[in-house]
Amino acid sequence: MTTSVKIENVTKQFGDIIAVDSISMEIPDGEFFSLLGPSGCGKTTTLRMIAGFEQPTYGELYIMDKPVAGVPAFRRPVNTVFQNYALFPHMTVEQNVAFGLQMSKVPKADIATRVAAALRRVQMEGFAERKPEQLSGGQKQRIALARALVNRPKVLLLDEPLGALDLKLRKAMQLELKQIQSDVGITFIYVTHDQEEALTMSDRIAVMNNGHIAQVGKAQEIYEHPANRFVADFIGETNFINGTVIESAEYTTLESNGVLFGGVARTQLSNGTSATVAIRPEKIWLYPADGDVPLNQRVALDGTITEVIYIGTDTRYQVALKTGDTLIVRVQNLGSEDVMAFKTGDSVNVQFSADNAQVLTE
């Protein structure tokens, strides 16, 4: 399979600031790949280096297997879609979309056909004569997308393209973008700080933190098996129980504040290592502490309910564990009485399966 973009030990420094710190990754042709991370983690800088707007301080970049060091932005087989649309205000929609083709001297008849096809692709065929100021935000972003796609780039770079849209439109456009990408079949590299957006659209996601890549994987991999505490915390909601490894055999036993808890997933950690158990709120069972507590090879811990919030789809319980940690537990509203089974002050037994818990050391 062709690699559309390969990044090899790339670092970017702006004076004393290391914006991107020796990152490497390979993005196969046709993939929807997202760079996800908090503000300032280096996503945009990475995208701008691929586009050719910035040069790496160290390292090599390849597009379609060719090194691109020294190749100016306009000669790279890539196009960028920006959050602020960057449409030419004095030109009509049609002229905006045609601009790149005119610059590369495509014959006039071909331009008309390709512009019409690009506008159809983004469902804006009736808007050719309008000026950008006569369009809504979502419509402007569709035109920006058509203007990039019409050039048939090998790689489309998208820098928070839906950031300025309201939530409902953003969600609708996420699905449309995913559909367009799968129809045109080119590589999309998508920058976002919105984890749900990345999970919804991407084939694979690189989670970035502080100029580094914290983990690369499919949505399900990074959600179910976060490689470290940063990823576990950034992607979705996670509970952490901090402890020390007491025994590591088929399962791991940890100790926290004098409380032993066993049955956590197998690790290779030696005794005495500090470790954190990460468990998602929706993967925890709650039982009354004085009732009949089933124990099917699950991790079990005692605690007290400190908060109950009913949020319709589920109930969100906060539990103070005897380990000293606080857990959030989500009980899905299946329509039974169980959804509000506990109240503040109740003693509970908290359980989760070893398979759903990650033991993390960083």
Single residue of 17, 86, 172, 340 touching ligand ATP by CB under 6 A = 17
CB of 1 to ligand ATP, least distance (A): 28
Provide the 8-state DSSP code for 360: E
Stretch that binds ligand ATP, among 38-46, 57-65, 123-131, 149-157 (CB under 6 A): 38-46
CB 21 within 8 A of CB 56: no
What are residue 255's phi and psi, to 5 degrees? Answer: -125, 135
Q: Does residue 193 touch ligand ATP according to CB under 6 A?
A: yes
CB of 241 to ligand ATP, least distance (A): 30
Single residue of 2, 14, 218, 313 touching ligand ATP by CB under 6 A = 14
Q: Does residue 209 touch ligand ATP according to CB under 6 A?
A: no
Single residue of 28, 30, 40, 236 touching ligand ATP by CB under 6 A = 40
Two tokens at 345? 């002050």
What are residue 314's phi and psi, to 5 degrees? Answer: -155, 175
Single residue of 4, 44, 202, 253 touching ligand ATP by CB under 6 A = 44
Looking at residues 289 to 348 of the shown chain, list those that interact with ligand ATP (rule: CB under 6 A): none
Which one, of 295, 304, 299, lies nearest residue 348 by Cα?
A: 304
CB 157 within 8 A of CB 82: no
Looking at residues 78 to 107 of the shown chain, list those that interact with ligand ATP (rule: CB under 6 A): none
For residues 238 and 251, give the distance between their C-alpha atoms in angstroms, rounded to a whole number.
Answer: 21
What are residue 305's phi and psi, to 5 degrees? Answer: -70, 125
Pick the closer one to ligand ATP by CB: 147 or 193: 193
CB of 20 to ligand ATP, least distance (A): 7
CB of 37 to ligand ATP, least distance (A): 6
Pick the closer one to ligand ATP by CB: 140 or 193: 193
CB of 57 to ligand ATP, least distance (A): 12
Q: Does residue 45 touch ligand ATP according to CB under 6 A?
A: yes
E strand spans, the chain: 3-14, 17-28, 32-36, 58-63, 66-67, 78-82, 155-159, 187-192, 204-209, 212-217, 239-248, 252-256, 259-264, 274-279, 285-288, 298-310, 314-321, 326-332, 347-353, 358-360
Pick the closer one to ligand ATP by CB: 41 or 177: 41
Residue 247 C-alpha from the chain's centroid: 35
* Phi-psi category of residue 139: left, alpha or beta, with phi > 0 → left and psi -120 to 50 → alpha: alpha
For residues 30 and 63, give the distance between their C-alpha atoms in angstroms, rounded to a whole number.
Answer: 13
> Pattern 109-148, binding to ligand ATP, x per CB under 6 A?
----------------------------------------
Q: Strand 314-321 vs strand 298-310: parallel, antiparallel, or unpaired?
A: antiparallel
Pick the closer one to ligand ATP by CB: 54 or 325: 54
CB of 137 to ligand ATP, least distance (A): 19
Q: Does residue 19 touch ligand ATP according to CB under 6 A?
A: yes
Residues of the shown chain interacting with ligand ATP in the complex, contacts defined by CB under 6 A: 14, 17, 19, 37, 39-45, 193
